[in-house]
Every structure is written in structure tokens, then in C-alpha cells.
Amino acid sequence: MFSGRFDHSIDDKGRVSIPVRFREVLQRDGHDRMFITNFPFNGNRCLALYPPSQWDILNASLKSKPRFDPRVQLFETLIIGGAHEVPVDRQGRILIPPKLREYASLDREVTFSARQDHFQLWDKPTLEKVLKATEEQINDPEFFAKLGL
């Protein structure tokens, strides 16, 4: 399980170091590669990074869905079609493909954000804007009641 939020920088070659805490989870589970893909979030764009075990679970779940359902086709087009398998090098870095950097408007400063079984990679200013909007929504007294927590 992943947790936390960590700021990092992308180098000139498009590489970024995976946060140590995330790397520890990956190494413990024997993962030396990741699946990285497009991810739209509430009108914004980021990247979703999955360890192979979680990517396999996602794909297995997708196979149980009706193949010709337009929602399944949209999901496959954006998420599965946009995915790249990337190795984690000895320094704990991954190379983010140019198309994915462009999709998520990743500049030099980025933020990794945990999502339980995977994590996201955001352009830092974009995530700061998303977090501010999220905090405003959570401050609504109805939020937790509707969430059931």
C-alpha cells in the first residue's frame, strides 16, 4: 500500500526518481518495472503508475466487462492504449515517455501522490490547484455524509 505525497524533479532526459517510500513497496513486492499511463482527473491530467501486480488486476477486471460497451472502449483507448511499461533503473528512476509528459503537462517540478494500490504523477502547480479545490469540497458538511465515512 502506498501513502504520502512527494515532490521531485524531472531531469533533462525525462527521468524522475521514484520516492524512496514507494520504491521500498515496489522492491518488497519484487517489482523492477512500472506501467505508466494517462489519467484524467476532474478536468485535469496526470499520470497513473501501477506496479505489475496491480496492472494485472486492472486488466483482469477489464476482461470481465462487455467488450463492446462504449465505456470499456473509451477506457481501453485512453488508459490501456496510452500505457507504457518502464523499467526502474538501479538509482530508482523511471523514464517518462515524451507523449505522457506532454499529456500531463509535466515540467521540471512534479509531485508523486499515493492512491493505495498505485500512485499518480502530477505537474506540481496543477496538483496544488487540485488540492485546494478538493479541500473546498471536503469542507462541505455533506461531503463525509455522502461518502459514508
Query: Looking at residue 38, which CATH number applies to its domain?
Result: 3.40.1550.20
In a domain, 84, yes or no: yes
Domain count of the chain? Answer: 1
In a domain, 16, yes or no: yes
pLDDT mean over 110-134: 97
Local confidence band at 145 (pLDDT 50, 70, 90 cut-offs): confident
Structural domain including 67 reads: 5-123
For residue 69, the number of C-alpha atoms closer than 13 Å in the C-beta half-sphere is 10
CA 131 to chain centre: 15
Tell me the per-residue pLDDT of 6-28, one tens digit each, with 9 for 90 and over: 999 999 999 999 999 999 999 99
In a domain, 145, yes or no: no
In a domain, 77, yes or no: yes
Number of H helices, E strands in the chain: 6, 8
Local confidence band at 149 (pLDDT 50, 70, 90 cut-offs): low
pTM listed for this prediction: 0.92
CA-based radius of gyration for the chain: 16
Tell me the per-residue pLDDT of 40-94, one tens digit each, with 9 for 90 and over: 999 999 999 999 999 999 999 999 999 999 999 999 999 999 999 999 999 999 9
CB atoms within 10 A of CB 121: 25
In a domain, 140, yes or no: no
